[in-house]
Amino acid sequence: MTQTKPIKNYAAYFRTLNMIFYAILTGAILFWLIVFVFLRPSLQTGFSFLVKIYLFIIAVETPAFIILQRKMLDAVRSEKTLRGKLTRYQTLFLVRMAMLEGLILFGIMVGMIEGNVWMKWITLGLIFLMALLRPTTDKIANELELNGQEMRYLDRPELEIPEE
Q: Check residue 91 and give its pLDDT.
A: 92
d(C-alpha 74, C-alpha 144), whole Å: 9
- Assess whether pLDDT exceeds 90 at residue 153: no
Q: In sequence order, what are the residues at sequence separation of 6 or more whose Cβ sits closer than 8 angstroms to the Cβ of residue 147?
A: none
Q: pTM of the predicted model, to two decimals?
A: 0.86
Over residues 67-88, the pLDDT tens digits come to: 999 999 999 999 998 988 999 9
The closest alpha carbon to 164, from 89, 88, 90, 82, belongs to 82
From residue 49, alpha-carbon distances to 56, 66, 110, 116, 132 in Å are 10, 26, 10, 11, 30
Domain map (residue ranges) of the chain:
10-39+47-155
CB-count burial class (<10 Å; 0-12, 13-18, 19+) for 42: exposed
